[in-house]
Structure formats: C-alpha cells, structure tokens
C-alpha cells in the first residue's frame, strides 16, 4: 500500500468526504492542469472507495429491533436496508 493510500485509510469518514468535495470543486472549476487533474481524479477515486467501505461497515453494524406478539422488544436482527 502506498503512503497516499495509507493516509486515506487513516482519515475519518467526514475528513475523507470533505477532501473529496474539495477535489470535485477543483476539477469542476478547471483550475487544475491536466496532470494535476489526473492525480486528483485518482485520489478522489480512492477517497470514494474509502467512504463507501466505511458506510458499508456502518450499515452492517446497524440492527433493527424485533417486536414480539405482545408488542415488547424481543431482540434484534441485522438491518437489511429495505
């Protein structure tokens, strides 16, 4: 893993998302040279993957409360997203 990938892996979700937003703004503004744009695009792709992985991990930890016939909580089941 390169230093850049290790640094991205250490960012919180919020910090990674903020950096990704900065990259998008810079690319959309057209102020970056072609070479810089290519580097920024690669960094943005790694940040996007990091954010998606963190969101998937968070979703996997979310549980839905199950209620029994009497209306009382009876346990939990993994969140299915639907």
73 falls in which pLDDT band (50, 70, 90)?
Answer: confident
* Structural domain count, the chain: 1
Distance CA 50, CA 61 (A): 17
Q: What is the pLDDT of residues 49-65, one digit of tens each?
A: 999 999 988 877 776 77
Q: What is the rounded (10 degree) CA torsion for 41, 45, 1, 57?
A: 160
Q: Higher model confidence: residue 1 or residue 30?
A: 30
Which range of residues forms the domain containing residue 16? 3-78
Question: What is the value of pTM for the model shown?
Answer: 0.69
What pLDDT is recorded for position 2? 56
81 falls in which pLDDT band (50, 70, 90)?
Answer: low
């Amino acid at each position: 893993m390169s230093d850049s990938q290790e640094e991205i892996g250490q960012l919180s979700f919020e910090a990674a998302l903020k950096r990704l937003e900065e990259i998008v703004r810079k690319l959309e503004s057209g102020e970056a040279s072609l070479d810089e744009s290519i580097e920024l695009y690669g960094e943005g792709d790694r940040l996007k993957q990091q954010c998606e992985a963190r969101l998937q991990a968070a979703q996997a930890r979310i549980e839905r409360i199950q209620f029994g016939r009497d209306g009382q909580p009876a346990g939990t089941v993994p969140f299915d997203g639907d």
